[in-house]
Structure 1
């Protein structure tokens, strides 16, 4: 099964943000959206999730299901969206916040099965010590992990992650990306992640799409897409690309320790 985004246009009044975006995300694949700030990464995800209404374009799942035609509850059974920050206007503890992901699946009150999904998500994200605490008391990183757990409890077919590691320390960044890749493959989810870190995207994403000024400039495997020339074109910095042990590392050349880092990466290879 494939999520197919075709000729997506979006803007605010006369300000155009997306210009004919075409993308596909396959079941069992983690697709990374890369690009400078303002390139349209988050906007693409918000259009898929129907937080924004596109000027034009279509979203097809399995070639037959038009996401734009689904009712909200039907869409929520299919698509889970993880925003950059959690926003609640009333007190919820961690389990209550996560069970909100199950609302498309039950009527009235959550069942024992719903709470089982919640508890599995809590275990996967290492949130056990936080159970019972209000989400308003959590740090930004802890709250982000609650959002991800909520999306997992939702059991989506399409998972949209909007810079989910931006508020996390390095330990939880890597844990979250490993988990995203694991869930994508084991649950056969089509996942799209907006991400800034080029090396992390190269390590964890199956394919990468580069966006700039609302246009898709390149799509392909990290090895094909992450080139020094393209990164300099998009970000205005010179980098070295190191291929080591089947992964790609992006090392800025203008940092004082770049020579040491380059030698270390080469030795590791």
Structure 2
């Protein structure tokens, strides 16, 4: 996926400024930056939720920004921070919604098989007949991710997918996204706050600040203590040990 010169503004407030970014198939890319840096806005533009007339997003020879919604839904899946999935649906019914762009009037055998695979992959088999209204926030979030996987997308967009999950499911969810990207050749973009999760699970990290892209690459190269400290307004240290990269805040003495 090739993003070129994408800009966006809410009225006179410029949110994105000339974003250029490549994400290869099979890659998990973390979108990082403080609140208001443009992470969620960029994912919404790629998903077609927000429209911009400036820039292009190409998948092969196709500009995703110019596709009709149903055609885009066949190649792009989006998991927002919150969703309007009807809460009277069961887990299986909600995941089946992900097959809508591919189905006729009724789901075919392949559609049902894809749904069951997505349900199992997210550890939802025992909850498949439960209604969404009976689930915890973390369980409901996993349903949304399963629905996205049921679309069999070429691009997977997730806006803070682990924010409602406990540590175990944060790790499992990010592992699943990485596995899907690798095995299915999906380009996955995750707007996320946790710098250490991004370094652990994402092959590519992109840092946004003031609507501009200020770093892009593997965490071992893109994480610079001075730059991160300036972007987040907090002094940090970046540690590299045994192939792992970790960011820690530098804390002064307590008052």
TM range (shorter): over 0.9
* Residue in 1 that maps onto 2:160: 163
Shift of 1:55: 3.8
Shift of 1:255: 7.4
* Residue in 1 that maps onto 2:76: 79
Shift of 1:224: 0.7
Shift of 1:129: 2.0
In structure 2, relative to structure 1, the CA distance for the partners of 1:122 and 1:60 (3 Å cut) is same
Shift of 1:251: 1.4
* 2:175 maps to 1:175: no
Secondary structure in 2 aligned to 1:37?
A: coil
Shift of 1:124: 0.8
* Residue in 2 that maps onto 1:36: 34
Deviates more, 1:142-151 or 1:125-134: 125-134
* Residue in 2 that maps onto 1:108: 105
Distance in 2 of aligned mates of 1:23 and 1:43: 15
* Residue in 1 that maps onto 2:229: 232
* Residue in 2 that maps onto 1:57: 55
Deviates more, 1:82-91 or 1:114-123: 82-91
- Note the residue ranges of structure 2 that are not aligned, 5 or more in a row: none
* 2:11 maps to 1:13: yes
Q: Is the contact made by 1:86 and 1:144 (CA closer than 8 Å) also made in structure 2?
A: no
CA RMSD in angstroms comes to: 1.4
Shift of 1:86: 2.8
TM-score normalised per structure 2? 0.96
Q: Is the contact made by 1:85 and 1:143 (CA closer than 8 Å) also made in structure 2?
A: no
Distance in 1 of aligned mates of 2:230 and 2:140: 35
* Residue in 1 that maps onto 2:210: 213
* Residue in 2 that maps onto 1:260: none
* 2:92 maps to 1:95: yes
Deviations 1:152-177 (A, max 9, x none): 11100011111100110000000011
* 2:132 maps to 1:135: yes
* 2:49 maps to 1:48: no
Secondary structure in 2 aligned to 1:196?
A: coil
Deviates more, 1:88-97 or 1:134-143: 88-97
In structure 2, relative to structure 1, the CA distance for the partners of 1:37 and 1:251 (3 Å cut) is same
Q: For 1:144, which of 130, 141, 148 is the aligned residue?
A: 141
Distance in 2 of aligned mates of 1:255 and 1:82: 38
* 2:16 maps to 1:25: no
Deviates more, 1:85-94 or 1:39-48: 85-94
Shift of 1:221: 1.1
Deviations 1:117-152 (A, max 9, x none): 111111111012211111122111111100000011
